[in-house]
Amino acid sequence: MFSTLADSLDKSFRDLRGVGRLSEKNITDALRQIRIALVEADVEFNVAKNFIERVKDKSIGEDVLKSIKPGEQIIKFFQDELTELLGGDQAPLDLNPPARVLICGLNGAGKTTTSAKLALRLKKEGRRPLLIACDLYRPAAIEQLATLGKQAGVPVYTPDASETDVVKVAKDALAWAENQNGTVLIFDTAGRQEIDDKLILELKRLHEFLKPKETLLVADAATGQQAVSVATHFDDAVGITGIILTKLDGDARGGAALSMREVTGKPIKFAGEGEKLDQLYEFHPNRMADRILG
Ligand code: GDP
């Protein structure tokens, strides 16, 4: 996903490495190129600008300019700042009981698939996850979760087709869960093509009732800037605790992933990299930074 960005960075870094002694001008020129590469890769403009300012402030220190390999040092600063931008340390899930995870996001972002992927992950860790279908608008979504749950070997609560109140479904699901002996409850919610008041109101009611430890936004990394604004909207409405970025296996520019943490202040906890149920990975900022830097 980051190949275009990685190529542009590689070129700028080669320029930096190629110069024996660096002047302030060399550094400014190289960092300007890098900023352009970031914005072209879909990184939000101010995020890219501030990021480059931070690398520049560190790089223009006396010691760096006098050091033997100033280019290498600047690249190291870049890598450190990129790791920081992506969130620093890996952010774990809060699964203290009662462990409830609310999955939200737009239609097609990958909520249902990701709910099942997460359940499979937790099961492999020795927990007893349960899946709860709360999308009352699309019967197909309920069926899809039932099918995926079966594949993952995880019990699924499926509401009646006539049910219209999501809080009632959640209540019934909690009663069902008592008998299932589950330790983590994952609620897959309804999405929309875009954010609207009805969706947010329903989600707020469900959130208020469940008081989940984790409210995770599933965002399609390929949607670029839209993913960032969607995250901000959901965060304002219900207070998300983290983000799961999906479709990182795609060929989009991927810069949204780089802006998400900075803009929302919420960590990216997992990354989806394929349609299969075992293709959900913990998001490690340092590993992602290494990947981007090639
Ligand atoms: P929902 O509407 O948000 O519940 O989205 P779905 O879970 O139905 O996913 C929409 C489509 O995206 C499906 O075809 C999924 O298989 C696909 N999908 C989900 N996550 C990923 C991912 O990480 N990579 C790829 N390539 N496809 C994904």
ipTM of the complex model = 0.99
CB-ligand 1 contact for 105 (6 Å cutoff)? yes
List Cα–Cα distances, 18 to 12, 57, 71, in angstroms: 10, 21, 8
- 129 has pLDDT over 90: yes
- 126 has pLDDT over 70: yes
Q: Is 249 annotated as a binding residue?
A: yes
pLDDT digits (tens, 9 = 90+) for 230-259: 999 999 999 999 999 999 888 666 777 788
Residue from 147, 199, 275, 277 whose mutation best tests the ligand 1 pocket (most atoms within 8 A of CB): 275
CB-ligand 1 contact for 249 (6 Å cutoff)? yes
Q: What is residue 133's predicted lDDT score, i.e. its pLDDT? A: 98
Q: What is residue 239's predicted lDDT score, i.e. its pLDDT? A: 96
Cα(111) to centroid of ligand 1, in Å? 7
Q: Is 188 annotated as a binding residue?
A: yes
If phi > 0 it is left, if psi is from -120 to 50 it is alpha, else beta; for residue 278 that is alpha
pTM of the model: 0.93
Q: What is residue 209's predicted lDDT score, i.e. its pLDDT? A: 98
Count of all residues that appear for the chain in the document:
294
pLDDT digits (tens, 9 = 90+) for 10-37: 888 888 887 777 788 888 998 999 999 8
Q: What is residue 184's predicted lDDT score, i.e. its pLDDT? A: 98
Q: Residue 160: helix, strand or coil by DSSP?
A: coil
Q: Is 189 annotated as a binding residue?
A: yes
Closest CA to 158 of 124, 135, 179, 126: 135
